[in-house]
Amino acid sequence: MFGEQKVCFSGVQPSGNLTIGNYLGAIKNFAEFSQHYKTFYCVVDEHAITVRQNPAELRRRTYETLALYMACGLDPEKNTLYVQSMVHEHAELAWLLNCFTMFGELSRMTQFKDKSAKHSDNINAGLFTYPVLMAADILLFQTDVVPVGIDQKQHVELCRDIANRLNQIYPDLFTVPEPIMAKSGKKIMSLAEPTKKMSKSDENTNAVVYILDDKDTIIRKFKRAVTDSEAEIRFSEDKPGVSNLMTIYSCFTGNTYDEIEREFAGKGYGDFKLAVGEATADALAPVQARFAELMADKAGLEAQMKRGAEEASYYARRTLSKIQKKLGFVQIR
Ligand code: TYM
């Protein structure tokens, strides 16, 4: 909360091509918050370097992620859109919060366990303290709500613990944030292994539908999606493949699971998969068209990066200076 205004913050890593999981679980839901909240949406490039990145690709994806925010309906007049590394307060607050976060807490983070298994040759300290940088992102803006997919819930909960701990020592220092998850899009699963999250870093590109995939590719990927041998379109825990496709269809069409079951009663998986592919491609077409326009105007994106960073810095400086003062750092103006 800043003054009377409630704050919404979220971020996306420019660490790979964004997926329909990122879209349905997060970005698609961002725009509606700008009606009632002061909103900050950040391209979190500092998070991305916890695994090795190709510098040219990271730079390109940073532009692309900002352009995708805008193409997905985030109006820069109504939302502060910016790049994390251009606002140095993120990294500074992260250091301070590191000193209030326990080794044991970070050791319990499931994403750390997964990523350190996957990148066993590079278990760096940044990978371990990543949730502290994420807490800094959120707390820097006195954030009330954080729209995220379910995989980030544990990190937001740790952020709440850190905020509460500091508030006990220094009363009213931070607003304690709530994670907000989309009802049905909070966990989109892989098309190849539907018990696993769809992830932008998956090496099997057929398991993942990217926001920028063309229509033919999208339809082909859904055609190959793993289902089961029943040939019955029904939402059920023991039918993870079909249920995931139903979730995706529901998110893109607005139809409920009951309506989908009725629509496809007596039909085969082939018809259903084609319908999911078409609904997905049709919904993404306007996003892709707008994205292409925005990417053609690099100077426009850079102007937005600059303006967004200035706006974000204004709020970030206020919080950082408040905590520095409470901690006992000398402040001379
Ligand atoms: P990232 O970049 O992995 O993902 C961005 C957002 O997309 C959501 N998401 C999904 N939702 C549903 N189904 C999926 N398969 C799926 N895959 C990803 C994520 O939950 C996320 O909301 N640590 C964060 C970025 C971050 C952040 C923050 C988020 C850094 N600082 C502060 C919120 C607040 C991450 O790696 O997201």
For the stretch 242-283, pLDDT in tens is 999 999 999 999 999 999 999 999 999 999 999 999 999 999
Residue pLDDT, tens place only, 281-330: 999 999 999 999 999 999 999 999 999 999 999 999 999 999 999 999 99
Residue 22 Cα to ligand 1 midpoint, Å, equals 7
> For a pocket test of ligand 1, which of 8, 82, 151 has the largest count of ligand atoms closer than 8 A to its C-beta?
151
Atom of ligand 1 nearest to the CA of 44: 30
10 Å Cβ neighbour count for 293? 12
Question: CA distances (Å), 207 to each of 198, 236, 247, 281, in order?
Answer: 7, 21, 16, 16
Residue 249 Cα to ligand 1 midpoint, Å, equals 21
- Could you tell me the two tokens for 281? 């491609």
Question: Is the Cβ atom of 233 under 6 angstroms away from ligand 1?
Answer: no
In whole angstroms, what separates CA 74 from the centre of its chain?
A: 14
Residue whose CA lies nearest to ligand 1 atom number 20: 149
Residue 83 has pLDDT above 90, yes or no: yes
H or E stretch covering 136? helix 125-139
Question: Is the Cβ atom of 197 under 6 angstroms away from ligand 1?
Answer: yes
- Residue 79, pLDDT score: 98
Residue 193 Cα to ligand 1 midpoint, Å, equals 20
Residue 47 Cα to ligand 1 midpoint, Å, equals 11
Given a contact cutoff of 8 angstroms between Cβ atoms, the answer to whether 156 and 175 are in contact is: no
pTM of the model: 0.97
Catalytic residue numbers? 115, 197, 200
User: Percentage of the chain surpassing pLDDT 70?
Assistant: 100
- Residue 39, pLDDT score: 98
Question: Is the Cβ atom of 148 under 6 angstroms away from ligand 1?
Answer: yes
Question: Is the Cβ atom of 187 under 6 angstroms away from ligand 1?
Answer: yes
Atom of ligand 1 nearest to the CA of 12: 2
Backbone φ, ψ for residue 74 (5° rounding):
-85, 110
Geometric angle at alpha carbon 77, from 317 and 94, rounded to 5°: 25
Instruction: List, in sequence order, every residue forming a beta bridge with 5; answer none if it has no partner.
Output: 2
User: Percentage of the chain surpassing pLDDT 90?
Assistant: 95
Residue 313, judged by CB atoms within 10 A of its CB (0-12, 13-18, 19+), counts as middle
Residue 333 has pLDDT above 80, yes or no: no
